[in-house]
Amino acid sequence: MKAFLLTLLAQLCSASLVPEKEKDPEYWRQQAQETLRDALRLQRLNQNVAKNLILFLGDGMGVSTVTAARILKGQLQNRKGEESLLEMDKFPYVALAKTYNTNAQVPDSAGTATAYLCGVKANEGTVGVSAGVTRDRCNTTKGQEVTSILRWAKDEGKAVGIVTTTRVTHATPSAAYAHSANRDWYSDGEMPPDALEGGCKDIARQLVENIPDIEVGTGLGPPRGKRCGPSTTAGRRAGTLGSRDPQEDTGPASPVAVGLGPLRSTKAGPPADVGLGPSVRPQLPPARRTQLGAGPGAGGRIDHGHHEGKAKQALHEAVELDRAIGLAVRLTSPQDTLSVVTADHSHVFTFGGYTPRGNPIFGLAPMQSDVDRKPFTSILYGNGPGYKIVGGERENVSAVDFAHANYQAQSAVPLRQETHGGEDVAVFAHGPMAHLLHGVHEQNYIPHAMAYAACIGPNRAHCNAAGRAAAASPLLLPFLTLLLLLLLLC
């Protein structure tokens, strides 16, 4: 009788674990055949000239974060999660990018931004300058400036824009327009005297002077009064600047249109008044917003959430980014818009523990440790603030609300701030010349491929080739929109 009950129980459990349709081998065969049909269609390469370039940058969105965000997205829709599709999962081409900085195996956001925006690898902590520049050394900067794909587009008279959830002077967006030996030189008030005397300019000033007409969408910043990043005085100037001083860019800003003209015209039917400014990031439903807004790091960024060991905040933010990607993809056409989704670097974030299908992504592994006999969460960090010893032992998480938005997942090594990770990041691509992103690449290759697709930058011999000449005509292409969706910095 007992054996029968156990068998019944096992059957019930496995019944709920495995969706009914997945038990039919035909389901998997059909699904694979559909994938094969889609793959065969890729033999006809999309070699159009890209009218629009969109780069979505999830700060700290490593591959483990992407997978966990996919499961979370499915579970938020009351599904098991593993089978669900992120918007970026639908992109037909995926590459890996090697993220190391010229002087760092595990990189920071400044050196990586220089790579994927300016096409040149650089030292950590520096933006928009070559590896000849040493961090903090103003006097090494001169002549080492490298320009970004925004500049290349601007030089062709294209419209360019940045949409960011952080300060536009933060390292990640700043490499688009600034050249600085230190990512933290936001304003002249934050620069050492020798750098000022040496003629180095602060990042905010360069935003105004270097590329004067970047459209900047800043409505996605952290709540007013809250700042992320090492400097709490970011943006406070000793002198004065024009009206575009970004010091107030951390709160909700008025809508800013980013290259709306060309984007709107690319596809019939999208609502005419849908801006790709702040509204590009769909708002969370009120319930989830409250949940996420509960603590420091409210509205948390991917990078910020991970640094605090708060996986829930990081993953919800990644799902948000994915929703924005879906919106932008629906507003554009892959016939004329190259969309690229990537991350600057990863984090030491992981999930494992032989969890069963559909296990809540923030839940426990199905077994206890066979060493300390305590349960553990599937999500763990290699290092960070979640390290916790209670009474000389690893904390027993069954007594803890590990599904809370502010829960800090356990880590192996105590650090106030969890660190970046050193493994490759994914690069998802969709649209003209997306197939150029196809293997394991150095991160600085990304803007070269994007520029080639759009016939901007130095490499344009192919632009007049038969079949591309008409599309490349400036008359037909009055604008090229470079829209950077930069999420989650610090």
**Sequence ranges of the binding site:** 59, 170, 172, 303, 307, 344-345, 420
Closest by Cα among 422, 219, 429, 405 to 315 = 405
Closest by Cα among 153, 251, 166 to 453 = 153
Q: Which of 14, 398, 459, 464: binder of ligand NAG (CB under 6 A)? A: 398
Question: Binding pattern to ligand NAG, positions 369-388, x when CB under 6 A?
Answer: ----xx--------------
Using CB under 6 A as the binding rule, whether residue 194 contacts ligand NAG is answered as: yes
CA atoms of 458 and 456, how far apart (whole Å): 7
Query: Would you list which residues are annotated within the binding site for Mg(2+)?
Result: 59, 170, 172, 344
CA atoms of 119 and 130, how far apart (whole Å): 10
Binding-site partner at residue 303 among Zn ion, ligand NAG, none, CB < 5 to 8 Å by type? Zn ion
Cβ atoms of residues 129 and 146 within 8 Å? yes
Nearer to ligand NAG, 199 or 296 (CB): 199
For residue 467, which phi and psi values (nearest 5 degrees)? 90, -25
Q: How many residues bind ligand NAG (CB under 6 A)?
A: 8
Nearer to Zn ion, 303 or 308 (CB): 303
Quick one: tokens of 11? 């059957």
Active site residues: 109
Quick one: tokens of 57? 């940058």
Nearer to Zn ion, 59 or 320 (CB): 59
Using CB under 6 A as the binding rule, whether residue 399 contacts ligand NAG is answered as: yes
Query: Would you list which residues are annotated within the binding site for Zn(2+)?
Result: 59, 303, 307, 345, 420
Quick one: tokens of 371? 């060493």
- Report the chain's terminal Cα–Cα distance, integer Å: 60
- Residue 291 Cβ, how far from ligand NAG at the closest point, in Å? 24
Q: Which of 190, 249, 303, 317: binder of Zn ion (CB under 5 A)? A: 303
Using CB under 6 A as the binding rule, whether residue 367 contacts ligand NAG is answered as: no
Say which residues have a Cβ less than 8 Å from residue 465's Cβ, sequence separation at least 6: none
Nearer to Zn ion, 59 or 188 (CB): 59
Place of tokens 């990863």: 346
Binding-site partner at residue 139 among ligand NAG, Zn ion, none, CB < 5 to 8 Å by type? ligand NAG
- Residue 191 Cβ, how far from ligand NAG at the closest point, in Å? 12
Neighbours of 415 (CB within 10 A): 17
- Residue 109 Cβ, how far from ligand NAG at the closest point, in Å? 23
- Which one-letter amino acid corresponds to residue 190? E
**Binders of Zn ion in range 217-256 (CB under 5 A):** none
- Residue 211 Cβ, how far from ligand NAG at the closest point, in Å? 27
- Residue 282 Cβ, how far from Zn ion at the closest point, in Å? 24
User: Sign of dihedral through CA atoms 172, 177, 181, 185?
Assistant: negative
Using CB under 6 A as the binding rule, whether residue 333 contacts ligand NAG is answered as: no
Using CB under 6 A as the binding rule, whether residue 396 contacts ligand NAG is answered as: yes
Binding-site partner at residue 388 among ligand NAG, Zn ion, none, CB < 5 to 8 Å by type? none
Which stretch in 161-169, 254-262, 300-308, 428-436 sits in contact with Zn ion by CB under 5 A?
300-308
- Residue 256 Cβ, how far from ligand NAG at the closest point, in Å? 37
Using CB under 6 A as the binding rule, whether residue 143 contacts ligand NAG is answered as: no
Nearer to ligand NAG, 373 or 416 (CB): 373
Binding-site partner at residue 194 among Zn ion, ligand NAG, none, CB < 5 to 8 Å by type? ligand NAG
Residues lying near ligand NAG in the complex (CB under 6 A): 137, 139, 194, 373-374, 396, 398-399
Residues lying near Zn ion in the complex (CB under 5 A): 303
